[in-house]
Homo-oligomer: A and B are copies of this chain.
Amino acid sequence: MHLVFIGAHPDDETSSSGTIAKYTANGHEATIVMTTRGGRGHWEIPSEELERIRTKEMESAAKILGAEVIFLDYKDADVPAGDALKEELVDVVRNLKPDIVLTFHPMVWRDDHKRVGQAATEACFKACLPLLETRYLAHRPVPDIYFFGSPMVPVEKDVYIDVSEYMDVKMESFAQHRSQWVKWDIDEDDSTRPLEEIRARMLHRARQYGLESGVEYAEAFMSQYGRKRALDFFPTVR
């Protein structure tokens, strides 16, 4: 099984890092595709230097998760409209042959995120068309796609993954993104925010998803089509 995460900026994978770690710990393959190197995610470090720094941070974080990393080299805050990204992702999908794709919901607020989510979703479909000729052969079937992020219109999370045993690796992996500790939330004030505060918020969210789904800690996703799956028996643990 190959799990492919498609995001926009290094550290976007934090939404799903417990799940990624769980897959690799269970013998599956995981690849993180980042469409930019996050060259505008700081207040002072110049973009080029920042890209170098964040590339390294992303590689360290991925290593801890047991995942490969691929960068597509679009520019942060400049993921383009149009079909170029989608065309490129068709070949990424054909090459990586994912069973599962994790990406932004195509209706989230920020353009970088929305465009990555839209392009990734459509690329998964187009990658399966034999008559669409590119460098690689068609990949079938279309992977199952699970979305993270908060859409402009409320969409319910409908798949929760138990990551109780992967919270340490999730935390350690995030800690590699050192350039992002100080100014985590750019909408707020300028004072530095220590790693502990970020960790507390990450713990809170994973615990909240855990409370909603009956485990200690969880990550939550939206399935494409909100598709229900029939069970063999009622989900009871007794």
The residues of A with any CB-CB pair to B shorter than 8 Å are 1, 22-23, 26, 39-44, 46-47, 50, 76-77, 80-83, 86, 99-100, 106-107, 109-111, 118, 121-122, 125-126, 128-132, 140-142, 144, 146, 150-155, 157-162, 186-189, 201, 204, 207-215, 218, 221, 224-236, 238
Question: Given the interface contacts A80-B83, A81-B82, A83-B80, does A22 sit within 8 Å of B144 by beta carbon?
Answer: no
* Pairwise interchain contact A40-B129, C-beta atoms closer than 8 A: yes
The minimal Cβ–Cβ distance linking A59 to chain B, given in whole angstroms, is 21
Q: Which residue of B lies closest to A205 (CB)?
A: B211
- From B99, B130, B227, contact of A43 by CB (8 A): B130
Cβ contacts A to B, 12 pairs, < 8 Å: A39-B131, A40-B132, A42-B130, A109-B225, A110-B125, A141-B188, A157-B228, A161-B231, A161-B232, A201-B211, A214-B229, A214-B230
- From B107, B121, B130, B204, contact of A211 by CB (8 A): B204
Q: Which residue of B lies closest to A232 (CB)?
A: B162
Question: Given the interface contacts A228-B213, A238-B1, does A161 sit within 8 Å of B233 by beta carbon?
Answer: yes
**Roughly how many angstroms separate A80 CA and B87 CA in the complex, as a whole number?**
12
Question: Given the interface contacts A77-B126, A188-B141, does A234 sit within 8 Å of B131 by beta carbon?
Answer: no
